[in-house]
């Protein structure tokens, strides 16, 4: 990608540019190059995980088994989740962090550039190892991404490889998180105090702490699976004095904050984009920061709401129900603040704004169903049905994934100096926004009507909505090829229109990155900026 090659004429800092050829990408320590690598890798994995989802939706198009065996179907649901979580959404946000955090805080690069390179390649290794399990004897893991024992211990040759790939992905995430924390704490421009940082930087700072706290927990849990299987321990084996539910507690102590790892940076990007197109400062900046911190804190003390049906004591059920309900308060504050930011603004609706508004609306729908399932007695009905599948996909696809698209359209002109094709981008938005609802909304009905999740075939009364959902899935999936085309087209020159330094009207009031030339030079902020935008004060 030639987009990030040096543009020396804009930069008074004349040192070396990038390496030539392929080696540039392998040994690079430049935050922009590494950000690009992360984003391209995430985009590729988005398509890989998406194809797995289409295998699932193709099999579920009609009742009866038409295409795959039940075992392979289970492998697909498992691998789809693992690839999307660890290969697509998380790396994409790390890509944004690499590109944007130094630009937003006025730093020349990330604090630990070599570790930055290592954490990217470790991610690639981890995902390749995971993908290789598809070709192993007994097939890829098929126990769901939660890897619950005792079922997961029935996995064939793939089990140790899947576990080691989790270890690698964990190390990669922890290194990335350390890097982000070190950068934010040590490399901000002199005048940028913590409470003047852009919200994207804030949300990533908090996310990085979450990652450091949870990834070792997950690594520990899967290591216990490994020793249970190969070294005769009985952590999760009742016959040996262990407890299968213990694994679930450990997993969800990781797993619940993990879902906030995917949503907090989403909040950050939305809080960055909405003010620019509303031409108004973000409403309630400090309450946004506190709400993010509150959500992060609560995420550690609500894990067992994923396990209401395992038979916890009443006190446990009630505690986890109340604690979970509390999350609605800071999340509500965020949604109200975004609405208030739009209120009496002077709004325009370029593609990044469209995706952001769709995010606010559809994430709120996911939040509503989240509140419903927080109530333990009704979760006894919702649990492990398609209602849950609809809920978490609403909080991930039209939320995290839409915001990734929004961020892509928002920053790509800045990074490449080229404008994307607005007409095509709007087409991409409308196709995605309509089809994502055709895909996931009927799944609410299916779940309430009694369809369990993770089943390859279903009773005939579920046939109609499954068909609608599958049609939506294929429209949504193929619409993303349009995104791929738009991104490549933009990188190669886009509409040919020369974008200004601030790209979006008055964007320079909202962030340091818009004070830099477009495209952004290979090296930026060799000396820290004197002034910082003060729009949100």
Partner 1 sequence: MKTKQLFASLLLMAYGLGTAQADYTLNLMEGVTSISKDVYGLHMLVLWVCVFIGIVVFGAMFYSIYFHRKSRGYKASNFHESTKVEIIWTIIPTVILILLAIPATKVMLEMDDTKDSEMTIKVTGWQWKWEYEYLDSGIRFFSSLDEASNKARQLNSGIDPRTVPNYLLEVDKPLVVPINTKIRFLFTAADVIHSWWVPDLGWKKDTIPGFINEAWTSVEKAGTYRGQCTELCGKDHGFMPIVVIAMEKADYAAWVIEQKGEVVAQAAAAEQDWTQEDLIAKGEKVYANNCASCHMADGAGMAGTFPAISNSPLVTGDIDAQVELMLNGKGMMPAFGQMLDPVDFAAVTTFIRNGLGNAVGDSIQPSAIKSLQAAIPEVVYDDDDE
User: Is residue 195 near partner 1 by the rule CB under 8 A?
Assistant: no
What is the C-alpha separation between 367 and 389, in angstroms, rounded? 13
CA–CA distance, 53 with 470 (Å, rounded to integer): 10
> H-type helices in 233-313, by residue range?
244-278, 285-299
Catalytic (active site) residue 383: no
Asked about 305 being catalytic, the answer comes back as yes
With contacts defined by CB under 8 A, name the span among 1-9, 127-135, 272-280, 522-530 that binds partner 1.
272-280
Is 152:225 a contact under the CB 8 Å cutoff? yes
Looking up tokens 């690499």, which residue turns up? Answer: 98
Q: Give yes or no: 167 in active site.
A: no
The residue (of 130 and 451) whose beta carbon lies closer to partner 1 is: 451
In the complex with partner 1, the residue whose CB is nearer, 132 or 234, is 234
Is 111 among the residues that bind partner 1 (CB under 8 A)?
Answer: no
435 carries an active-site annotation: no
Q: Which one of residues 89, 105, 342, 412 is an interface residue with partner 1 (CB under 8 A)?
A: 342
- Among 345, 477, 517, 528, the residue binding partner 1 under the rule CB under 8 A is 345
**Footprint of partner 1 on 518-537 (CB under 8 A):** 536
Check residue 355 for interaction with partner 1 (CB under 8 A): no
Rounded-to-integer distance, Cα 204 and Cα 35, Å = 14
Should residue 350 be labelled a site residue for partner 1 when binding is judged by CB under 8 A?
no
- What is the C-alpha to C-alpha distance for residues 439 and 471, in angstroms, rounded to an integer? 7
- Which of the stretches 13-21, 41-49, 67-75, 112-120 binds partner 1 when contact is defined by CB under 8 A? 67-75
393 lines the binding site for partner 1 (CB under 8 A): no
Q: Which range in 64-72, 203-211, 215-223, 475-483 contacts partner 1 by CB under 8 A?
A: 64-72
Q: Which residues of 246-272 are buried (b: 16+ CB within 10 A; e: fewer)?
A: ebbbbbbbbbbbbbbbbbbbbbbbbbb
At its nearest, how many Å lie between partner 1 and the CB of residue 116? 34
Q: What is the pattern of x (binds partner 1, CB under 8 A) and - over residues 238-257? A: xxx--xxx------------
317 near partner 1, rule: CB under 8 A: yes
Q: Does 280 bind partner 1 (CB under 8 A)?
A: yes
Q: Are 305 and 378 in contact (CB under 8 A)?
A: no
274 binds partner 1 (CB under 8 A): no
**Is residue 322 among the annotated active site residues?**
no
- The Cα 49–Cα 31 span in angstroms is 26
DSSP 512: G
DSSP per-residue letters across 50-92? HHHHHHHHHHTTSSS--SS-HHHHHHHHHHHHHIIIIIIIHHH
Name the active-site residue from 78, 172, 395, 432: 172
Window 8 to 37, contacts with partner 1 (CB under 8 A): none
Question: What residues form DSSP beta bridges with 181?
Answer: none
CB of 486 to partner 1, least distance (A): 20
Burial class (CB in 10 A: 0-12, 13-18, 19+), 509: middle
Cα–Cα distance, 421 to 40 (Å, whole number): 20
- 195, 329, 488, 526: residue in contact with partner 1 (rule CB under 8 A): 329
Which residue is catalytic, options 75, 78, 99, 109?
109
Catalytic-labelled residue, pool 57, 229, 334, 536:
334
DSSP H helices in 187-243: 199-230
Q: Is 393 a catalytic residue?
A: no
- Under rule CB under 8 A, which residues in 478-497 are in contact with partner 1? none
- Which run of H or of E encompasses 194? none
Annotated active-site residue in 77, 143, 173, 518: 173
Select 19 or 243, whichever has its Cβ closest to partner 1: 243
Catalytic residue among 13, 249, 453, 489: 453
Which range of residues in 23-31, 86-94, 200-208, 227-235 is near partner 1 by CB under 8 A?
A: 227-235
Write out the binding residues for partner 1, residues 410-469 only, by CB under 8 A: 430, 433-434, 437-438, 441-442, 445, 448-450, 452-461, 463-465, 468
Instruction: Select from 293, 292, 296, 299 the least CA-distant residue to 271.
Output: 292
Indicate if 290 belongs to the active site: no
User: For partner 1, what does the binding mask look like between residues 135 and 174, x meaning CB under 8 A?
Assistant: --xxx--xxx---x-xx-xx-x------------------
Q: 319, exposed or middle or buried, with CB in 10 Å at 0-12, 13-18, 19+?
A: middle
- State yes or no: residue 194 binds partner 1 (CB under 8 A): no
Instruction: Please say whether the beta carbons of 487 and 412 come within 8 A.
Output: yes
In the complex with partner 1, which residue's Cβ is closer, 385 or 515?
385
Q: How far is the CB of 11 from partner 1 (least distance, A)?
A: 33
Report which secondary-structure segment, H or E, holds 521: none
216: number of Cβ within 10 Å: 14
- Using the contact rule CB under 8 A, the part of the chain among 195-203, 259-267, 281-289, 417-425 near partner 1 is 281-289
First-to-last alpha carbon distance for the chain, in angstroms, is: 38
- CB count in 10 Å sphere of residue 526: 12
109 tagged catalytic: yes
**Of the candidate residues 169, 333, 390, 401, the single one contacting partner 1 (CB under 8 A):** 333
CA separation for the pair 423, 415 (Å, rounded): 20
> Which residues are known to be catalytic?
80, 109, 145, 172-173, 256, 258, 260, 271, 305-306, 331, 334, 453
């Amino acid at each position: 990608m030639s987009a990030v090659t040096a543009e020396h004429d804009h930069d008074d800092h004349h040192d070396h540019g990038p390496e030539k050829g392929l080696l540039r990408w392998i040994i690079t320590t430049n935050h922009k190059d590494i950000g690009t690598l992360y984003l391209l890798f995430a985009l590729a994995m988005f398509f890989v995980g998406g194809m797995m989802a289409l295998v699932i939706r193709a099999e579920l198009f009609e009742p009866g088994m038409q295409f795959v065996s039940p075992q392979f179907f289970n492998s697909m649901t498992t691998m789809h989740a693992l690839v999307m979580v660890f290969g697509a959404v998380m790396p994409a946000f790390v890509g944004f962090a690499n590109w944007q955090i130094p630009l937003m805080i006025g730093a020349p690069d990330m604090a630990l550039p070599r570790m930055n390179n290592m954490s990217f390649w470790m991610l690639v290794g981890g995902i390749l190892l995971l993908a290789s399990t598809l070709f192993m004897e007994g097939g890829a893991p098929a126990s769901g991404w939660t890897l619950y024992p005792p079922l997961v211990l029935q996995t064939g040759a793939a089990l140790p490889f899947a576990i080691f790939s989790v270890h690698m992905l964990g190390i990669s995430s922890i290194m990335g998180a350390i890097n982000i924390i070190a950068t934010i704490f040590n490399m901000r421009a002199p005048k940028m105090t913590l409470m003047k940082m852009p919200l994207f930087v804030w949300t990533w700072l908090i996310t990085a702490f979450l990652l450091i706290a949870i990834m070792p927990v997950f690594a520990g849990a899967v290591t216990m699976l490994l020793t249970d299987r190969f070294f005769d321990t009985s952590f999760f084996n009742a016959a040996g004095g262990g407890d299968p539910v213990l694994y679930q507690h450990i997993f969800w102590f990781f797993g619940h904050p993990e879902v906030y790892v995917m949503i907090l940076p989403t909040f950050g990007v939305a809080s960055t984009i909405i003010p620019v197109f509303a031409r108004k400062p973000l409403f309630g900046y400090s309450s946004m920061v506190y709400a993010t911190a509150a959500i992060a804190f609560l995420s550690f003390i609500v894990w067992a709401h994923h396990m209401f049906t395992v038979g916890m004591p009443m006190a446990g059920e009630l505690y986890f129900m109340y604690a979970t309900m509390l999350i609605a308060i800071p999340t509500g504050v965020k949604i109200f603040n975004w609405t208030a930011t739009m209120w009496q603004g002077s709004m325009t609706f370029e593609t990044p704004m469209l995706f952001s508004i769709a995010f606010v609306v559809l994430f709120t729908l996911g939040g509503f169903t989240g509140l419903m399932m927080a109530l333990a007695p009704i979760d006894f009905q919702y649990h492990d049905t398609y209602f849950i599948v609809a809920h978490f996909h609403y909080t991930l696809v039209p939320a995290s994934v839409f915001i990734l698209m929004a961020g892509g359209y928002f920053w790509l002109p800045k990074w490449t100096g080229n404008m994307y094709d607005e007409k095509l981008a709007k087409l991409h938005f409308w196709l995605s926004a309509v089809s994502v609802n055709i895909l996931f909304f009927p799944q609410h009905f299916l779940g309430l009507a009694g369809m369990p999740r993770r089943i390859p075939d279903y009773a005939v009364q579920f046939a109609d909505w499954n068909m609608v959902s599958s049609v939506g899935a294929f429209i949504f999936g193929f619409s993303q090829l349009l995104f791929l085309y738009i991104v490549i087209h933009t990188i190669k020159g886009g509409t040919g229109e020369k974008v200004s330094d601030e790209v979006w009207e008055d964007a320079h009031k909202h962030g340091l990155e818009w004070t830099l030339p477009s495209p952004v030079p290979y090296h930026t902020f060799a000396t820290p900026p004197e002034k910082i935008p003060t729009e949100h004060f």
